[in-house]
Structure 1
């Protein structure tokens, strides 16, 4: 992926780490060789395993293939909420087939995005998103796999749908970006909150306050690469190898030792996604 700024220099290694949410295909990986090269760069700084995420059917197929190409890669499959209008019978059948693969460790990213309707051509309506979200919740429960949530400006409705449908045993809020009140509501329900590079942004005061409230056993770390590159590299292309920058920033916010936070989030990822060592 090209960017206005050059790729960040590799950080000082921090181990062990799991990137709980990345998009290897959007980062430029296309085949087994490029996937291995990307994960090698991550492993060199302590990020030994990654979960690559789908937001459409093509990405879902790629994610599963990538997870079979490299044992350090795991997959999650779903249609992004803005694409919920593409969730026809054929798409549901294909997602169910892919989601049953043993290398798929979560159903995601799904959820609600109230920012894009009316701004993005072809974006799913709120009603279509809610219907798609309900279907993904049911799929996660049927397969006994975690539900990975994308939430943008939809706190109330998202929690309401989860309550109405009955949440799966494990719910992960990817790239948590809400305030302290939402964090407390999620923690109370036993949900897991995953933090990305946004927690390091200078203007993310409310998010850092929220990050302080999450119990050790309910926190994950992620890149959401190629997006949300941590400070001071905001605007540069992101990749899984950048995760230690975010973890160090998050540890400073929470008053924790970065090595201990790395160990804790890795243990959480292993438990939540049932990862192999």
Structure 2
């Protein structure tokens, strides 16, 4: 994402959609008014609800607050694998408390990231990531909430940890970016695959092949905003209102009517995150 590129224009409205994974704080939200502004913009094009996701403790606190500020927002809370080296007992206790909030619909994002160790100062080691991932798996099972996965260049090890630890009932691979072999392995395991703007990239041949394989009932769509803005706006700032661009690109790949696909992925999000079972809270 580059700040010198203008934000994409509002897409043609596509009802109805749930942004299954976004980062409202990284989109610039800091208080109730700014969260509402982002959601109003999204709702104007048919994106009526979002799950805002944490990658560190501060973001987890924000996500829970945002979900109480605006009833269109739900939260997912965890420590990102690259930051797993901060998981002290105190941090674990606070993440567990935050994750227990009724507005939190998933434990995430957690998982394994083999790209950044050795490249990013302070990045958690592979060993620390494995420890943190196992702790989050246990937390999701104890809270009986879905586990939201971050996976970067760690396909085989990530699946091995899930098998060894015993996966929670619901596992969501956020921003699924692997090829058809990994897709088949996840599909066979019953995992849910959430696709972002990367599926619209013209050079994402393996991912586009994988996207065509996913059963309707195991599919979500997301922005991962402010990152991964869909084609033809790649590199511009992303926001939940951009989700219809990705949904339409995915519909074309799967040879589906976009309205039908939107209805299906929305029903999946409601089921996977139990959105209809979560009590709506008004602003504090």
TM-score (norm. length: structure 2): 0.97
Partner of 1:91: 91
Q: Distance in 2 between matches of 1:86 and 1:55?
A: 12
| Count of paired positions | 277
Partner of 1:124: 124
Deviations 1:4-35 (A, max 9, x none): 21000000000010000000000000000000
**SS in structure 1 of the partner of residue 183 of structure 2:** helix
Q: Which residue of 2 is the match for residue 191 of structure 1? A: 191
In 1: Cα distance, 2:151 partner to 2:115 partner: 10
Asked whether 1:182 is paired with 2:182, we answer: yes
After TM superposition, the structure 1 = structure 2 runs for residues 117-266 of structure 1, keeping only pairs within 5 Å, are 117-266=117-266
Deviation at 1:276, TM superposition (A): 2.8
User: What's the counterpart of residue 41 of structure 2?
Assistant: 41
Give the corresponding residue for 2:54. 54
Describe the SS at the equivalent of 2:111.
strand
Partner of 2:13: 13
Give 4+ residue runs of structure 1 displaced > 2 Å after superposition. Answer: none
Which position in structure 1 is the counterpart of 2:282?
none
Equivalent residues of 2:225, 2:238 under 8 A apart: yes
Deviations 1:188-235, CA, capped at 9 Å, x for gaps: 000000000000001001000000000000000000000000000001
CA distance in 1, matches of 2:129, 2:257: 40
Q: Unaligned regions of 5+ residues in structure 1, if any?
A: none
Distance 2:276 2:230 in 1: 28
**Cα RMSD over matched residues?**
0.9
Return the TM-score normalized by structure 1.
Answer: 0.99
Are the equivalent residues in 1 in contact too, given 2:50–2:73 (CA < 8 A)? yes
Does the aligned pair in 2 maintain the 1:79–1:109 contact within 8 Å?
yes
Show CA shifts across 1:105-163 (max 9, x none). 00000000000000000000000000000000000000000000000000000000000
